[in-house]
Amino acid sequence: MHKIAVLGSTGSIGTQALEVASLHRDEIRITALTAHGNTEKLFEQVRAFRPAMAALTGKEVEIPEDLRFCQWYFGSGALEKVALQCDAESVLVSVMGMVGLSAVLAARKTGKKVLLANKEALVAGGKLVMDVCRDENGEKVLLPVDSEHSAIFQCLEGAQGNPVQEILLTASGGPFRTWKKQDIEYATLAQALGHPTWNMGRKITVDSASMFNKALEIIEAKWLFDVPESKIHVLVHPQSIVHSAVRFRDGGVIAQLGVPDMRLPILYAMTYPRRLETGARELDLASVATLTFAEADTEKFPSIALARQALRAEGIMCCVLNAANEEAVGAFLEEKIRFGDIYRIVDGVMQKTENRQIMCLEDVLCADRAARVLARDMIRTLI
C-alpha cells in the first residue's frame, strides 16, 4: 500500500488525484486531506477516503460527529503540520500559491516524497526546495505533476544521462493566443477563464491567459532539471498533445505525448515508475491529424521576458515575480483591475525591489511579504 497525503484535495488537481486514487484502492491509500475554505467538499472526501488526518487551513469550524475519527488541524500552520506529521510515504502538494513552499519543506523534513503540482513553491524557493530534494540512493524524492514537467521528466528517463541541449516547453497559448495586444489589455474575467484545452483552478487559468503560467514553468523547469533559462525554449502548441520535449546533442528530440488530461501526470507521479489505468481517453493521433508549433509572442505576452529577467537576476527576483503575480491575479479575479494591469503590477514590483540572495526560508518569506505590500499599493492606485 502506498500511503499518500493530498494537500489541497478540494481543488482541480486534488479532486482528480482522489479520482485516480479511487481507481486503485488496492494500491493507494489516502492518509491525509486538506482544504482551505471548502468545508463541505472536504467533509465529503473525508467520509469517502477515511484518512487519519485532515485540515482546514482557513478558519476553524465545528466537525460533524461522524468525522471525529480523524485528527483535525485548523489555520495557517495546519498545512505544515499535516505534511510533517501525517503517516504517508508521499505528499501530493496541490494547494494553490506560495503557501505550498513550507509544506514541501515540512514533508521533506520527515523524509517523505513530494509529488509536486504546486509550481509557486519552486518559483519562490527553488533553491531551498532542490537543496532538500536530491535523489536518495538513486531514488527520486521529488516527482513533478505539472504536465510539461512530468513530460520532461519522462523524456529524461530515456536519456541515459546524456546532457540536455535544450528543453522545448510547450504552451497552449491560452484563450488570447490570436488576440491583438490592445484587446488583451481589456479582456474580461469570463474571457480569461475560458481556457481552450485545460480545465483547471481559477488562478492557474488566469495565469495561462496571461502566459504567466508559462513564465512560472520556465522557472520551475530551471530548478527541476538544472538547466539555464537560455536552454528553455517556449513553443506554442495549441493542440496540447505534445506536453514538452527534450533535444539532445546529436539533434535527436524525445517528446512525450498524450491527451490533455491531468490524471495522467498525477497518477504517474503517484505510482512512478509504474503506469496504471487513469480512466483517460486514448490519444488518437489520426483524429488529431495536425500538430502545430510556433514561437511565443513575447511582445504580446511580457510575462515570459519577466521570468527570464528574474531568473538571470537570481536571488529573490523569482519570488518577487510570483508574489506580485499572485496579488495581481487575486485582484483581477475580484474584478478590481484590468487584465493588462497584471503585467504592469509584476513589472512595477520587480523594478521597485532591490535584489538580495536567498540563504534561508525566512529570506523567501520576507521577500514575498514585501512584494505583496508593493503589489497591493499598486493595486490601490489602479482601482
Which parts of this chain interact with Mg ion (CB under 5 A)? 146-148
| From 12-20, 273-281, 322-330, 375-383, span contacting ligand NDP (CB under 6 A) | 12-20
Helix (H, G, I), strand (E, B) or coil at 164: strand
Compute the distance between CA of residue 152 and CA of residue 172 in angstroms, rounded to an integer: 16
Nearest approach, Cβ of residue 103 and ligand NDP (Å):
8
Q: Which does 11 bind (CB under 5 to 8 A by kind): Mg ion, ligand NDP, none?
A: ligand NDP
Q: Which does 10 bind (CB under 5 to 8 A by kind): ligand NDP, Mg ion, none?
A: ligand NDP
Spell out the residues 6+ positions from residue 104 whose beta carbon is closer than 8 angstroms to its own.
83, 91, 93, 114, 116, 118, 121, 129
Residue with cell 493595486: 379
Compute the distance between CA of residue 334 and CA of residue 261 in angstroms, rounded to an integer: 28
Q: Which residues ranging from 234 to 263 are in contact with ligand NDP (CB under 6 A)?
A: 262
Nearer Cβ to Mg ion (147/154): 147
197 touches ligand NDP (CB under 6 A): no
| From 17-25, 112-120, 172-180, 334-342, span contacting ligand NDP (CB under 6 A) | 112-120
On whether the CB atoms of residues 138 and 204 are closer than 8 A, the answer is no
Nearest approach, Cβ of residue 283 and Mg ion (Å):
18
Distance, C-alpha 16 to centroid of its chain: 14
What are 96's three cell numbers?
Answer: 494553490
Name the residue number minimizing CB distance to Mg ion.
146
Residue type, 57: T
Q: Which does 118 bind (CB under 5 to 8 A by kind): ligand NDP, Mg ion, none?
A: ligand NDP
Compute the distance between CA of residue 218 and CA of residue 203 in angstroms, rounded to an integer: 18
- Interface pick for ligand NDP out of 79, 107, 235, 349 (rule CB under 6 A): 79
Distances (CA, A) of 318 to 119, 190, 191, 220, 295: 12, 28, 27, 10, 23
35 touches ligand NDP (CB under 6 A): yes
Nearer Cβ to ligand NDP (247/375): 375
The residues pairing with 2 across neighbouring beta strands, listed in sequence order, are 28
Nearer Cβ to ligand NDP (45/353): 45
Instruction: Report the interface residues with ligand NDP, using CB under 6 A.
Output: 8-14, 35-38, 57, 79, 94-97, 99, 117-120, 146, 198, 200-204, 262
